[in-house]
Structure formats: C-alpha cells, structure tokens
Amino acid sequence: MNNDSLGGPLIIAAVMLAVSILGASYFLSQSLRRGSESLNQLAAAVGEMKLGGVAQAPGKARAAQPARPSRPDPDKRYEVALGNAPVRGSAQAAISIVEWSDFQ
C-alpha cells in the first residue's frame, strides 16, 4: 500500500472541518447579535417602567421608600417565656440563648 494514497482524504477532511468551523462561528455571531439586541430592548423597557406608581425618568433618584420596621434594641434585656419548648443546659444559667425561626 502506498503512503501517498492517504493525502487526498486527509486534505478533504481538513477543508470540511475548516468550513464547519467557519459556519459555526457565523451562526454563533448572529445568535449573539440577536441576543444583545433583545437585551437592549429589555433594558429600554425596564427603564420606561413605572416604579412605585410614578414614572421613573432616566438618571433621576427613586422616590423615598417607606421606613422599615425598627429592629430589636441590642442593649435591651428581653424576657422570653419558653413554655414547653425544648431546652438544653441548666435552667439556672446566667445567660440563655433563644433561637426562634418562622418557616413559611
């Protein structure tokens, strides 16, 4: 068998691979272009949305939000009735750590 007989199919395979890569890069660039156009349209639509019932003009500050409820005072001592809650440690401990959580 002659070693020169493998040259033709190898060249054809290389050309087909090159054409495939070029075609894929073209389709990818078109897809990215369409995606960026869609994102720009979405950003423009969000910029025109009404925030809090008042039209938001670009570059202007948002209206003041209502004040959040105040947090517990870290310097105040709170008495917590444990009732039948599970407890670890001594009932006469100087400090009790109470964990409360609300799973909704």
Per-residue confidence band for 22, with pLDDT thresholds at 50, 70 and 90: very high
Angstrom distance (rounded) from CA 42 to CA 36: 10
Q: What is the maximum alpha-carbon separation in the chain?
A: 96
Residue range 67-86, pLDDT digits in tens: 777 787 888 887 888 788 88
Count of structural domains, the chain: 1
The answer to the question of residue 17 being in a domain is yes
pLDDT > 60? residue 2: no
The answer to the question of residue 28 being in a domain is yes
Q: Which residues contact 56 (CB under 8 A, 6 or more apart)?
A: 47, 49, 50, 62
Read off the pTM: 0.37
pLDDT > 70? residue 34: yes
The answer to the question of residue 22 being in a domain is yes
Range of the domain at 30: 3-55
DSSP β-bridge partners for residue 50? 55
The answer to the question of residue 44 being in a domain is yes
The answer to the question of residue 86 being in a domain is no
The answer to the question of residue 84 being in a domain is no
The answer to the question of residue 36 being in a domain is yes
